[in-house]
Amino acid sequence: MSSHLRFKYQELGSDDFSREEDGVSTIGGRSSPPDPRLLDRDISSNAMLEAWPSDDSNDGDYGANARAAKLSNIQKTQEAGEICAKEATCLTETARKGPFYAEALALRLPSQSVTVEHLKSFSVRGLLQVYEGVTPNLQTLLKAVIQKQNPDSDLERQQRNPDMGRTMITSMLLNLRSRETNLHQAMNCLLFWDGKVPKRVVQTFNHYGICTSYNYQTKAVPTISKDATRLASRVANDLSKMCLLPYDNFNWVEKAWETSATHGNAVHDQVSALLVVLDLPPGSDGTDAARLSDPLTFEQTNGTRHHLEPDISLEQILPHADDQNCFFNHSAIHVSHILAEEVGTLSEYRNLLGPFHETHELPAKKTEEYFLPTFDQEQTSTRGNMIVLDHFFRDVLKVPNEVFENKNYFVLGDRLTTARDRAAQDQRALDRSEHRFDHLASISILSGLMHVSMNQVQNIGRNTWGTAGAFDALSLATLLSKLPNSPNLNLKKLDFYAWLRFFDVILRALVMRAAMVILDISSVEQFRKTKMTEASYRVLCSQVASRYIIPSVDRLEAEGTKSLLGSTECGNAILLMHDLMTMREMRDAIKFGHPDRVERMLKYWTPIFYAGGSYNYANELMELLHNLIHDWPPETAQIRRAGMFMNNQGKRRTFKETDIRVEQFNKSIKSHAHGSNARPGLLERITPAIGHIQELTEKMFDELGVFDADQRHTDVKQHEDVILLLEHFCKADVLDFSKDKASSHLVVDLFQTGLHRLSGPKGGHAKHLQRHDLRSRQRHDNELPPGYYENFNQSDIQQLGLDSLDEEFDKELKQDNVRPQISLIEQLDAIIIDSLNEYE
């Protein structure tokens, strides 16, 4: 192209598509004064002809035939523009008279009509199919313009899909012609809201035709919230569905940018909640759900734990021989994974030992969940929990008393939440109402797995942190000091994922050290170059599990393997490996959706919690395990156990704890609660829409390939940290019993100690049964049978905080005038905390 033609071609811009009428320039249908600089510009067909790119390499050489061809092309272009304009008109101005009226209506989405179904059904690819059907000529032109003859490296890597851009261009053209055609723009606007894009940026993109206006955004989000709440209410009242209500409280600060003596920042205690629909067994229908959630079904099996001998009842909630065997096999598989991931020469053997055994693996399907509006209510007392339950079930979900008579609901929360919910049931048992909900009798309680795992982190940390002024090669304080970039971990303010990564590094280093001792290898570099056969690798993994993870220290001393008696570094390493392996097994089981493995680890952790001083969590796990194994119908127990898992992606290995899903929901809510205009009422109007808009965002990102093209996040690899700790273990001769050293830091065998302390007529399990029996009698009987307390000695009665039932009720009635009611469980918790503080 000649310089003259290039100059003329560059002059042709958006202004060249305007038209002049009587000296007045009209652009986009709007009249505006003409620009004096444009009055002399030649925008006739001749100018377009001169500017048209020529394939002829001889600049300026135009023959008559070539000129005629150019004029023909210009005429065709004008005709194509008229055809595309007619297509657009059939979807905008004359849609009611055109052949695509239904499609035109589907492309229009007023702010007061946005629903959750619109978000769930929207698809960019689906929208493109509609456009190809109603604007075929426009799509032909856009394909010709967008398609490149020589695809560049970006397209070869498939970082961008031109079809997605073609869809956006079509939507922009239709929206610029008519603001009512705004389906794609509405979805983009909600995506911007989820990303907290500033108001002015939203308005800027609205002028470009990319998204709807900011006012549309502020009206659409509350509309979605109302529809989400309506759907949740409909599901909660459906007898063919089994529902779970996980909820938790969170704090946020209402900011006042201009403070005064009477106006400042205010801290709000909010409660957030989800409604989760539990999956029924394969082949089940609505009648099965009604039967399984019938309250009468639960009453038939309630209290089964008391029909067994106490020692038999305890034995069934603790690990038995099959559990021990499964834990050994799974520990060997974990060892195989660790060695294959850390030693490059063994990477081919990672899956040699096969998959984990799980009878009731959860299907990889997306969990049906609904997000409920927040509630500005404290949740630090039993009375507060009563108000919260009343609010969500009656005011939000609008469940009538008649439904509660025929349907049992499940509630999930952290330990404090579940304890207060049970206390609320105890106090409501005295209500004289004839309706079950007034007694909270149609509510069953589940525990959250994330908070249970956090307590195990604290147990391990307290037991193995180390003694001040004493050096131990296995103390967590020593190991943390060996890592140069380690986070500032502490047990008071728990950084959950940082602790999990730290524990993973320690376990990997210990497993590698155990393998080195078995293979009699002293050099780390030599071990990283080790090559083995499949048979020898199987034997090695089994030996690491059988020698260093499964056996107790007492057994090693009895067998003579551990010749130095008492507290030693090798003995501490054995105890630490066992506890860390239970943590790895639990986290892996949650990720895979394996409820049997999770229940097995809960059996292991119950005595560990009791021996570690976490009596509240120990009693919580005993309550949960007794319910799953004894007091709940078997079919329902499996469904409830699966309710402790969620999968919001619908993919394998993406399961998470239900309570951590609530925590993530809290974080999303707080991200939208910043600013001077944030109020509890605002949060209540927008929170039901947050989760659904997040799902829309993730779906659009996945459809556009944003995650695949732009996401650079990978799993944290801590090979260097593992090698640092491995070298430290080699230098200290850890796990080499022939070079064992005495340790001044006493590490307790929590599992074995907890088994002893739970058993017996005065053990922790017996006290748990006594407390549960007392609660059951409170709930259903007016008086205790004569001589009931004769089976208790005075110390047991004092520990329970009960001298007589009547005195306790009188005390609670007096406390009503002073502060919110507390329950017997809360009093027991206070007694235990005071005793622990005195012990410390």
DSSP state of 52: S
Q: For residues 425 and 440, is the Cβ–Cβ distance under 8 A?
A: yes
Q: Show the DSSP H helices in 195-213 as ranges.
A: 199-208
Helix axes 595-611, 569-592, angle to 10 degrees: 140
The alpha-helical segments, DSSP class H, found in 23-161 are 45-51, 64-89, 101-106, 116-121, 124-134, 136-146, 153-156
Q: Is residue 774 part of a domain?
A: no
Assigned domain for 569 exists: no
Whether residue 337 is contained in a domain is answered as: no
HSE at residue 734, side-chain half, CA atoms within 13 A, is 30
DSSP state of 643: T
Range of the domain at 23: 1-61
Q: Which residues of the chain have pLDDT under 50?
A: 1-32, 34-43, 57, 59, 155-157, 713, 778-792, 797-806, 808-809, 811-826, 828, 839-840
- Tell me which of 61, 76, 94 is where a domain ends: 61
Residue 3 CB burial class (10 angstroms; 0-12, 13-18, ≥19): exposed
CA distances in angstroms from 491 to 220, 282, 464, 840, listed in the order given:
44, 43, 12, 15
- The string of DSSP letters for 464-493 reads HS--TT---TT-HHHHHHT-TT-----SSS
344 token code pair = 């490059």
Nearby residues of 134 by Cβ (< 8 Å), 6 or more positions away: 87, 90, 91, 100, 103
With CA atoms as reference, report the closest residue to 288 among 645, 594, 643, 639.
639
Please report, as a single letter, which amino acid is at residue 402: E
The pTM for the full model equals: 0.82
Which domain-ending residue is among 12, 29, 61? 61
CA of 675: how far to CAs of 157, 258, 264, 688, in Å? 41, 12, 13, 20
CB atoms within 10 A of CB 394: 14
By residue count, the chain amounts to 840
Establish if 20 belongs to a structural domain: yes
Q: Is residue 31 part of a domain?
A: yes
The secondary structure of residue 121, as a DSSP letter, is H
Query: Nearest to residue 382, comparing CAs of 418, 431, 434, 436?
Result: 418
Last residue in a domain, options 46, 61, 76 = 61
Nearest to 791 by CA among 769, 810, 775: 769
Residue found under tokens 């404090």: 416
Strands 266-277 and 368-371: antiparallel
Structural domain contains residue 120: no
Q: Domain total for the chain?
A: 2
Within a domain: residue 42? Answer: yes
Residue 206 lies in a domain: no
- Residue 491, exposed/middle/buried by CB under 10 A (0-12, 13-18, 19+)? middle
Residues contacting residue 116 through CB under 8 Å, at least 6 positions apart: 224, 227, 228, 231, 692
Quote the pLDDT of residue 734.
Answer: 94
Beta carbons of 489 and 498 less than 8 angstroms apart: yes
Long-range CB contact pairs, 632-635, < 8 A, 24+: 632/298, 632/301, 632/444, 633/292, 633/297, 633/298, 633/300, 633/301, 635/281, 635/292
Helix axes 183-194, 124-134, angle to 10 degrees: 160
Measure the CA–CA gap between 19 and 79, rounded to whole angstroms.
Answer: 16
The residue to which tokens 């909640």 are assigned: 273
